[in-house]
């Protein structure tokens, strides 16, 4: 079967499974709401970063992006859905590529829309505190935010293909982001810069003094994601449906 009809079929699954549009809606709502709150609070701290503050809603919002990727794949392991999918598309690699594309495109589009909206409301709340931001910094942060959210969704999707459980994936990634990166990561020094979430979030900062810059940080996150996708593809190809 050609790739286009396989992709179309996977897109129909994404569109019609109620929890998946709900996850994308939660991504937009939660990220925008928390960015608005952060912007309205403002800050007088010496290390205040107006760019990151305006986009700080991505910290809780990324959980919805992870949930989207995990749910999109875990739905295949319910009720023998994967067996039906592979019966229709025997080329497992083609099916997996179509599934990941169907996840990546809406995650990127909603991620970019979320980034633009969140930055707008966050910057409006900051007022004159954000007046020093350049156009290049704003474009880089907004586009980087959209890419980052897509990568996190794909990271979750690849890991779910390995674990065959959305619950297991969320049990691994959510505590990792909320505990490891914020608690252990701060004490781990330079190593923390290469964690998938910490690395990608470098693109959201106006200034960055660590090992990685905005685009090299996103590249590190992309490598983590690529590793998860390769492992997921191997699992789909080698293990029974």
With a pLDDT cut of 70, the percent of the chain lying above it is 93
Q: Is the pLDDT of residue 108 over 80?
A: yes
Nearest to 144 by CA among 63, 81, 201, 64: 201
Q: Is the pLDDT of residue 109 over 70?
A: yes
Per-residue pLDDT tens digits for 169-212 = 999 999 988 887 777 656 656 777 888 999 999 999 988 777 88
Burial 74-87 (b: 16+ CB within 10 A, else e): bbbbeeeebeebbe
Nearest to 230 by CA among 117, 121, 100, 108: 100
- pTM reported for the whole predicted model: 0.93
Alpha-carbon span 205 to 38, nearest angstrom: 15
166 and 74 Cβ atoms separated by less than 8 Å? yes
* DSSP, residue by residue, 78-144: STTHHHHHHHH---HHHHHHHHHHHHHHHHHHHHHHHHHHHHHHHHHHHGGGGTT--HHHHHHHHHH
| Tally of CA atoms within 13 A in the half-sphere of 149 that contains its CB | 37
Mean pLDDT of 1-5: 85
Alpha-carbon span 110 to 149, nearest angstrom: 9
Phi, psi of 185 (to 5 degrees): -60, -40
Q: What rounded mean pLDDT belongs to the chain?
A: 90
pLDDT of residue 210: 75
Mean pLDDT of 202-227: 92
pLDDT of residue 184: 67
Q: Is the pLDDT of residue 73 over 90?
A: yes
Q: pLDDT tier at 238 (50, 70, 90 boundaries)?
A: confident
* Cα distances (Å, whole numbers) of residue 198 to 12, 87, 216, 228: 33, 40, 12, 17
Per-residue pLDDT tens digits for 55-64 = 999 999 999 9
pLDDT of residue 221: 97
Nearest to 97 by CA among 233, 238, 223: 233
Dihedral (CA of 43, 48, 49, 55) sign:
negative
Nearest to 57 by CA among 153, 142, 154: 142
């Amino acid at each position: 079967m050609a790739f286009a009809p396989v992709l179309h079929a996977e897109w129909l699954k994404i569109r019609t499974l109620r929890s998946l549009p709900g996850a994308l809606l939660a991504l937009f709502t939660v990220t925008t709401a928390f960015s608005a709150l952060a912007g309205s609070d403002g800050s007088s701290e010496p290390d205040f970063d107006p760019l990151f503050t305006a986009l700080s809603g991505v910290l809780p919002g990324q959980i919805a992006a992870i949930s989207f990727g995990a749910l999109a794949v875990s739905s295949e392991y319910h009720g023998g859905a994967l067996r039906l999918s592979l019966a229709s598309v025997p080329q497992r690699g083609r099916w997996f590529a179509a599934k990941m594309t169907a996840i990546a495109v809406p995650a990127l589009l909603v991620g970019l829309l979320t980034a633009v909206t969140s930055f707008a409301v966050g910057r409006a709340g900051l007022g004159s505190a954000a007046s020093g931001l350049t156009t290049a910094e704003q474009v880089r942060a907004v586009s980087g935010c959209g890419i980052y959210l897509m990568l996190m969704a794909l990271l979750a999707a690849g890991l779910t293909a390995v674990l065959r459980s959305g619950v297991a994936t969320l049990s691994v990634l959510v505590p990792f982001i909320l505990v490891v990166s914020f608690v252990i990561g701060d004490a781990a020094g330079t190593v923390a810069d290469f964690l998938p979430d910490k690395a990608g979030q470098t693109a959201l900062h106006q200034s960055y003094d660590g090992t990685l810059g905005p685009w090299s940080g996103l590249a590190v996150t992309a490598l983590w994601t690529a590793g998860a996708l390769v492992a997921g593809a191997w699992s789909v190809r080698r293990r029974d449906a």
